[in-house]
Structure 1
């Protein structure tokens, strides 16, 4: 895969993350017009007006999340399912939610075809998280919020890590790592990014 050679040059050094990126075939998560570009390091459109992030950003976010083998992870924004598949290689269990039922159904189908058994994909309002499964060791958002959503911070265990893009939807956003400590929250700005906005409620099927 072309993009694998560029990950180290972009600062990704974690061997577990690099191995996970190598094991997951991005081509399985892209259908239609852009299938032939699946192995480029570029974001691509998917159904419901969403995108699949470029692999280098997926790798950087995954590395920042610092997932451990026993971790329970929550992903907000299933999208194509690609990020969840990467996380599934690193964590004990991955819960992934999306507001679009079509995306969840299609991602589930790929997970089943690829025999990935430790992902639970659900149709839900990601801004509210998944309180019935909390607390989570790690939380990752693949949609931008003006601030880290308080319901998600509440669902992060002490010692846990959240990674998300923060900023207005129509401006350049900042990728932020939040570490929850006994004394509060530690914020670390990582780099500029651009993601679709985090929206409340369930989405109308528009594709």
Structure 2
């Protein structure tokens, strides 16, 4: 391993109630496949090229995606395009399920967006930036937010993303829709997360990649 880190934008998602009584192993297998498929479809439909993303990292009942710092993919697009598209797809998927299968096969996700320096070794990526993203994703308050919502997806962003991206309202992002509801501790520092529940609106397709 080189001692030098590389910069990545970080997106991770995690399935709600993955260990529920109705989630048999075959159903878990199908849902894992769905999560990967839905994320890849959302990327394709919003013009995010596979070349800009490292190979997905498996998280059992979730996925970690690391996006390379290319001009064609501002961090803005993860919030304004990719996450809303994924939420729309999840809503459509759940709505299409037969009533008898909704309890066992419906999907609701927690998601996190952060960015920072990471390391890679033969076992995968690691570092404080990933630790923070995972801690935000697993925060009890974020889990509670999803439980209390009827939405198929809730998002938390790090304070770095909030102050660097969300605050400025790039690409139609509304800062007022992000609430400072999550606090976690990483590396002996208290960190804040801002929670957003994407509105389920018309599907967001690929748009020209003008730099924000």
The verdict on a shared fold, with TM-score over 0.5 as the criterion, is no
Decide which structure has the larger Cα Rg and report it: 2
Q: State the structure with bigger RCO (CA 8 A, min sep 6), 1 or 2.
A: 2
Normalised by the length of structure 1, the TM-score is 0.30
Normalised by the length of structure 2, the TM-score is 0.30
